[in-house]
Structure 1
Amino acid sequence: MHRTRVCLTAAIALFAHEAAAEMNFNRIASFATPLNMAEGEDQSRETSAEIISATEDGMTLVYTDSPLGVVGRIDITDPKAPKPLGNVDMTGEPTSVVVAGQTALIGVNTSESYTQPSGKLVTMDVASGEIISECDLGGQPDSIAKSADNSFVTLAIENERDEDLGDGRVGQEPAGFMVKLPLENNAAVCDGLQKIEVTGLTEIAPNDPEPEFADVNGLGEIAVTLQENNAIVIIGADGTVVNHFSAGAVDLTDIDATDERGALIFTEEQMGRLREPDGLGWIDDDHFIIANEGDMDGGARGVTVFHKNGTVVWESGNTMEHAVIHTGHYPDKRSDSKGAEPEGMEVATFGDTSYAFVLIERASLAAVYDVTDPANPVLKQMLPSGISPEGAVAIPERGILATANEADLIEDGGARAHVTIFEYQDAPAAYPTITSAGADELIGWGALSGMTYADGKVYAVNDSFYGYQPTIFQIDATQSPTKIEKAIRVTRAGKPAQKLDMEGITTDGEGGFWIASEGRTDRVIPHALYHVNAEGEIEDEIGLPAELMAVEKRFGFEGLTLIGDTLWMAVQREWKDDPENMTKLVSYNLETEEWGAVHYPKEAAETGWVGLSEITLHGDAVYLIERDNQIGAAAEIKQVTRVAVADLQPAPLGGELPVVSKEVVRDLIPDLQAPAGYVVDKVEGLTFDGQGNMLIVTDNDGVDDSSGETFFMNLGPVTPLN
């Protein structure tokens, strides 16, 4: 068994914007898969984009959509404005696709059961959607690959196991195998099918290989991963097995291996962690790179380059996952499993540079490695792919990369499945917009909420997603991308403070902070204000008065700011005593300890709700974020408003409150559309820097049912209050 130990300080050439003269991949468009449904179809059904390919001219994308049992087609003649070309029914579950010329070859699962697997290879004309032929494969197909000269295709016939049977482990028959079919005029020749056995080659389950992901090099050799068996098989151009070897193991250090649900602690290790690779791509005729996703017993959280003789040429160790952490995409809920889970793979050459695009499923990123020298890959970028990337296709002739992202969150009112398109540009990298790379320690972060500014630094808090690690992040917004420099842990008696949902922060003028915590009584989280010193220790706690607690709901303080001796807090939505579409701006005088409030008029929501996310003082006005809870194409209200300080005349609680006048300062939807993904729902933080520039940040929900994307934007100065 190959076992590799690597240094955690392995160098990576990240992050964005730092080398403007270099070529970079930037997102230029996203395509929501429901758009391919025909008029009159129920677009609320689950849909997906999993494996993706492109026609030879690079003008059409073809992807598999397992939930609908179709393949979808996208016109990318103008890659910045992709257009739907409709779906084609496969009468089965499409698992993979590759395009030769203008002909799509699609692996389709038609199995009745795990013990009676079956499948077919469908040949389809991409332009018309016409089915040209179908070949019986004799089992359940997984991945498909073709030779560069379009002379043959190969499929991994996985015959996957029933994970609910017994202990769910491999060792369940019938065994999987490989097949190879010749192509004539880019169509499969069914009677030329060659079955290639790969049983008896491994130690773990020699009778149940479950071949997973295959690729073909320039010599016509096939490399295939046997993920559950932690093995790789090399098949010669004549269809015979010429080599097979264990994928080996890695000693991982400085990782988070515990699902403590609420803290990013990278001090653990996993020694001898099996790679259990999924995706694989040939770099040249001798070397290939694998994505070590893991399955039953492993998952090495990185990538490895092998020579086809079985020698490990290079190992990423923990460095790829550390780059995920820097980007704010680390999926903490997966810590006790396989971490960020690199899964899919695409390798292609753009200009003189060979790239490997590694799809990191749980982090919703695509890692871009320069693999021109297979012994010394360099991590160049982390691309925001969309939720759960599964497949990718490169179109070097057009300078295009497309990723297929399988997760469709329609049932939860979230983002739909997307195909994301990137362009290879002579331009700075647009993502990430904020990173912790370069800090003195490894800083995990996410779920950013309220923000404030003082003495040249921005300070932001995380919310209750990281309830066991409440943190104030010190940020340098003068750099590009914005840099998280320091993590100040919020403590009570020296230990991580519990029962907080930090949604607002402001400085106290003396080096410390005031923090607003949004309460939730059913979880015993109080609505409260906290005075915190420069080291993060809570020095004072202020609960809400009886007048507010009598009418409270869970939608509490979402921001606070300090005006003179008075703290002002924005309540997200109506409490029990508020008229419809009115929410409170609550005041608390630090000297007199008096509470008061005014009413703020919210926009009415056609769908979902509208609420406040932030309040901050700038000049003679307070600026607020007012937003709906809608995402993607459904988003309608994301805006910055302001209220003159002179209008903030609080009345006593429990009586009629004065209604302030608001002015809409900026519609944020165009800003949120500019990154060319879907419009995120949670614009949470707002502050102004020393030059008067308005800064906003979005909340990525801790990468839970989210793409993980955080946008930190400098929107420039605002027009002064009249």
Structure 2
Amino acid sequence: MNLKRSLIALTLMSALAACSDGDDGAQGPAGTPGQNGTPGQDGTPGKNLPRDLNIEVVGRFNTGIYGKSAAEIVQFHTTSKSAFAINAADNQIEVISLASLPVTAVGNPITDNSLSSTAFTFPATVSVKNSSGVDINMNLGEANSIAIYQDLLAIAVAGQEKTATGAVLFYTLDGTGQGTFVKAVAAGALPDMLTFTPDGSMVLVANEGEPDTDYILDPEGSISVISLTGGTPADVAGEINLTTDMHFSSDLLDSEDYDSDAKRRALLSAAGVKFAGPAGTTVAQDLEPEYISVAADSKTAYVSLQEANAIGILDLTDMTIEIKALGFKDWSQHTLDFTNEDEVASFRTLPNVYGMYQPDSIAAYSWNGATFILSANEGDSRDWDAYSEDIRVEDVVDPDELNLTLSTELQALYDETGGKDGLGRLKITSALLDADNDGIVDKLYAYGGRSFSIWDQNVNQVFDSGDDFGRISAAVLGNNFNSAHTENKGDNRSDDKGGEPEAIDVGMIEGRTYAFIGQERSGDLFIYDVTNPFQAAFVSHYNNRNFDADFELDDDLDNPCDEAEGMDCSDVPNAGDLGPESIKFISADNSPNGNPLLLIGNEVSGSITVYQVTEK
């Protein structure tokens, strides 16, 4: 029986195998075609890069006070839809409602005064706690900076004497922008700028610590760190000092290599940090924190050390600072106008002449998860009665001044450009002359980069705008370029620091990231697409100034418009915006009129101008 079953199974398997080897049948007829699908929507047309932008003035407030810093640092309070601006002349804050801001440009952006303000005042004396928790009274001077996080306002106020300890005043703001005092917290000497961290957990204060003019008192620069818990500030600030809190990350160095002031100075000088001051000043006295910006994670911040041509990296976890020198700009690779004597826009390269970047304002943003820092490379010198580094090139060779010799190459350049009326006019530092003390000057170092730069999180430069600002401004304004903000006389800042890039901020419009840079002297606004920091590109230029207005003022006088001193401010109201000091970007999501805005505080004209920036 089993044998029969096996034979039957084998027979079936053979039959099936034979079937699988047969030829394919003829192909059947094609089926009926299916119906076409519904057409899809057209895609959004692509946009060329860089994208073109509309820049329009949609509101302006004028204090009517000229040359007295009546409009300095600007901020925005979202809840009340108000701009806040420091008025140093009246030592108060102007609160300017933007709730009814239009979406159309004003009729005359130069003279517009369509916005109004209410005064936000603060006391002349406050009580603060010292490090032992004891209440002490403090007499205050001028407000220097403001910052707003949600409904919390912080005001940095100097001491009655600028070399004394200052304070930060905290207020909660209501829906109209009015404030309720919370407390005052002691800071360092001359708290010049402050900012909240993005997560609202800290307020960081740049204590500049400037000397008095005779250098009898020269306080140390420092960073105050005020912790916030549930929106309530701590009673006492922490501090990052510029002595024992200084850190060097190189594995080639041990802590013993920088455990004294002399060692720290030697390391920093060798790296390119510029020191300028009377003999005997310390590193902490010479380094003067100027402006702070914080990374998105609130763990790292960056502080500009303007006069020293450096940026400090602040570790907010370890409470340390690392100083990074910014290097020098080679003016043989870029062109600049270096004399005001010809009174025309004229550019050329200058071999063996260098610029110190020396940023004032800085701003941080993220790309591919990394932090990048934007810097407005204004330049600044130490120029006090007891010590000044400020000289002109002509002073180098003047027998009654420094009586040094220029190198063969520099002397040829000096002669070729017109001597004392050419290269001789350029302002330079005396602190970096004749490094080898042989009596021959091989290199000259001028103030400022006349540009803006982008630096990576390690403070390595990835972009610089080169000579764009000078060339673009001259192309648009003609011989009015490099004009001072105290009179309409073109080319009169070419020998100093050019237009002086002062203010900078960063923001996003329609998915692209832009840098906004204001030049203090000439009043230019430059916009760059910095979405990719390695492919930054110029986008637009605007200048809200009337160069036909006839005026002259002197902001070094107690009365900048003093007719007895030959001043005439009668036409200043027709001059437009003079001396942009700060910029604040407001995103479309937070904007009162639904479009991205820029707030600009103009300290010489005493005006706050609101720009609308949209894609064309």
TM-score range (shorter-chain normalised) is: 0.5 to 0.7
What secondary structure does 1:327 align onto? Answer: helix
Partner of 1:106: 155
- For residue 326 of structure 1, the aligned residue among 464, 469, 475 is 475
Instruction: Return the offset for 1:96.
Output: 0.6
Instruction: Return the offset for 1:269.
Output: 2.9
Does residue 123 (structure 1) correspond to residue 272 (structure 2)? The answer is no
What secondary structure does 1:387 align onto? Answer: coil
Gaps of 5+ in 2: 1-47, 103-113, 125-140, 244-263, 276-282, 382-428, 430-446, 484-490, 545-576
Q: Contact (CA 8 Å) 2:448, 2:500: kept in 1 or not? A: yes
Does residue 165 (structure 1) correspond to residue 187 (structure 2)? The answer is no
Instruction: Return the offset for 1:90.
Output: 5.0
Instruction: Return the offset for 1:46.
Output: 4.7
**Identity percentage of aligned residues:** 22
Does residue 293 (structure 1) correspond to residue 378 (structure 2)? The answer is yes
In the superposition, relative to structure 1, how do residues 308 and 45 fare at CA in structure 2: closer, same or farther (>3 Å)? closer
Does residue 391 (structure 1) correspond to residue 582 (structure 2)? The answer is yes
For 1:196, give the aligned amino acid.
I
Does residue 350 (structure 1) correspond to residue 509 (structure 2)? The answer is yes
Instruction: Return the offset for 1:363.
Output: 1.4
1:580-595 map, 5 Å = none
Note the alpha carbon deviations across 1:30-51, whole angstroms, 9 max, x for none. Answer: 11124xxxxxxxx799561111
1:20-39 map, 5 Å = 22-34=52-64
Instruction: Return the offset for 1:185.
Output: 4.5
In the superposition, relative to structure 1, how do residues 90 and 231 fare at CA in structure 2: closer, same or farther (>3 Å)? farther
Q: Contact (CA 8 Å) 2:302, 2:313: kept in 1 or not? A: yes
Gaps of 5+ in 1: 1-17, 35-42, 409-415, 428-722
Note the alpha carbon deviations across 1:79-99, whole angstroms, 9 max, x for none. Answer: 245332223245331111111
Q: Distance in 1 between matches of 2:68 and 2:304?
A: 30
- Asked which structure has the greater CA Rg, the reply is 2
What secondary structure does 1:130 align onto? Answer: strand
In the superposition, relative to structure 1, how do residues 264 and 90 fare at CA in structure 2: closer, same or farther (>3 Å)? farther
Partner of 1:627: none
Partner of 1:68: 90
Partner of 2:364: 282
TM superposition outliers: structure 1 runs of 4+ over 4 Å: 18-21, 43-47
For 2:482, give the aligned amino acid.
Y
For 1:351, give the aligned amino acid.
E
Partner of 1:254: 335
Does residue 156 (structure 1) correspond to residue 189 (structure 2)? The answer is no
Q: Distance in 1 between matches of 2:508 and 2:614?
A: 14
For 1:402, give the aligned amino acid.
L
Q: What is the TM-score of this pair, normalised by structure 1?
A: 0.51
Partner of 1:229: 308
Partner of 1:305: 454
Q: Distance in 1 between matches of 2:609 and 2:240?
A: 35
Q: Distance in 2 between matches of 1:45 and 1:334?
A: 17
Instruction: Return the offset for 1:338.
Output: 0.4
Instruction: Return the offset for 1:239.
Output: 4.7
For 2:191, give the aligned amino acid.
P
Q: What is the TM-score of this pair, normalised by structure 2?
A: 0.59
What secondary structure does 1:257 align onto? Answer: coil
What secondary structure does 2:506 align onto? Answer: strand
Larger strand fraction of residues: 1
Instruction: Return the offset for 1:264.
Output: 2.4
For 1:136, give the aligned amino acid.
A
Partner of 1:210: 288
Instruction: Return the offset for 1:103.
Output: 2.1
For 2:599, give the aligned amino acid.
T
- For residue 316 of structure 1, the aligned residue among 440, 449, 465 is 465
Instruction: Return the offset for 1:156.
Output: 0.3
In the superposition, relative to structure 1, how do residues 260 and 273 fare at CA in structure 2: closer, same or farther (>3 Å)? same
Q: Contact (CA 8 Å) 2:454, 2:461: kept in 1 or not? A: yes
Does residue 86 (structure 1) correspond to residue 119 (structure 2)? The answer is yes
Q: Contact (CA 8 Å) 2:57, 2:611: kept in 1 or not? A: yes
1:146-545 map, 5 Å = 146-162=196-212, 164-165=213-214, 173-191=218-236, 193-199=237-243, 200=264, 202-203=268-269, 204-205=274-275, 206-207=283-284, 208-220=286-298, 221-241=300-320, 243-252=322-331, 253-260=334-341, 262-267=343-348, 269=350, 271-284=353-366, 285-296=370-381, 297=429, 298-328=447-477, 329-331=481-483, 332-384=491-543, 386-396=577-587, 397=589, 398=591, 399-408=595-604, 416-427=605-616
Q: Distance in 2 between matches of 1:237 and 1:24?
A: 39
Give the superposed CA RMSD: 2.6
For 1:277, give the aligned amino acid.
P
In the superposition, relative to structure 1, how do residues 246 and 56 fare at CA in structure 2: closer, same or farther (>3 Å)? same
Note the alpha carbon deviations across 1:173-201, whole angstroms, 9 max, x for none. Answer: 3211011112244443233x210012446
Partner of 1:50: 72
In the superposition, relative to structure 1, how do residues 227 and 172 fare at CA in structure 2: closer, same or farther (>3 Å)? farther
Q: Distance in 1 between matches of 2:603 and 2:527?
A: 21
Instruction: Return the offset for 1:72.
Output: 1.2
Q: Distance in 2 between matches of 1:247 and 1:44?
A: 35
Instruction: Return the offset for 1:231.
Output: 0.7
Note the alpha carbon deviations across 1:225-256, whole angstroms, 9 max, x for none. Answer: 11111111111231533642101111123211
Q: Give the number of the structure with larger relative contact order, counting CA–CA contacts within 8 Å between residues 6 or more apart.
A: 2
Q: Contact (CA 8 Å) 1:368, 1:381: kept in 2 or not? A: yes
Larger helix fraction of residues: 2
In the superposition, relative to structure 1, how do residues 153 and 279 fare at CA in structure 2: closer, same or farther (>3 Å)? same
Q: Distance in 2 between matches of 1:255 and 1:185?
A: 51
Q: Distance in 2 between matches of 1:261 and 1:417?
A: 31
Instruction: Return the offset for 1:69.
Output: 1.1
In the superposition, relative to structure 1, how do residues 44 and 339 fare at CA in structure 2: closer, same or farther (>3 Å)? closer
Q: Contact (CA 8 Å) 2:509, 2:614: kept in 1 or not? A: no
Per mean C-alpha deviation after superposition, the further-off stretch among 292-301 and 52-61 is 52-61
